[in-house]
């Protein structure tokens, strides 16, 4: 799954607006900070709380920087 994350991060052909990218970037930063602080993987809910954003906005932004419909079996080529 770490590989999936990397794949998703490296394969991002679609244009994603600056501010969505910012939210996603901050979410990943906060995640790292929380991992550091508590020595375990935080939940999305904790990340959103820390950022003071609705959970869905964090999920939305992270989804926007990913995109492929299906990692393994794209419908479109």
Q: Residues interacting with another protein, by CB under 8 A?
A: 1-2, 4-5, 8, 17, 19-20, 27, 31, 35, 39-45, 47-48, 54-60, 62-63, 66-67, 69-73, 75-76
DSSP state of 54: -
Least spacing, CB of residue 77 vs another protein, in Å: 10
Residues ≥6 apart with Cβ < 8 Å to 35: 41, 42
Least spacing, CB of residue 36 vs another protein, in Å: 9
51, 58 Cβ separation under 8 angstroms:
yes
Q: Among residues 10 and 41, whose Cβ is nearest to another protein? A: 41
Least spacing, CB of residue 44 vs another protein, in Å: 5
Quote the CA–CA distance of 77 and 52 in Å, as a whole number.
38
């Amino acid at each position: 799954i770490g590989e999936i994350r990397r794949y998703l991060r490296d394969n991002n052909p679609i244009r994603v607006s600056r501010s969505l990218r910012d939210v996603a970037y901050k979410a990943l930063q906060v995640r790292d900070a929380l991992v550091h602080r508590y020595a375990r993987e935080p939940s999305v809910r904790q990340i959103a709380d820390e950022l003071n954003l609705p959970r869905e906005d964090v999920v939305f932004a992270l989804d926007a920087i990913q995109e492929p419909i299906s990692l393994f079996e794209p419908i479109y080529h």
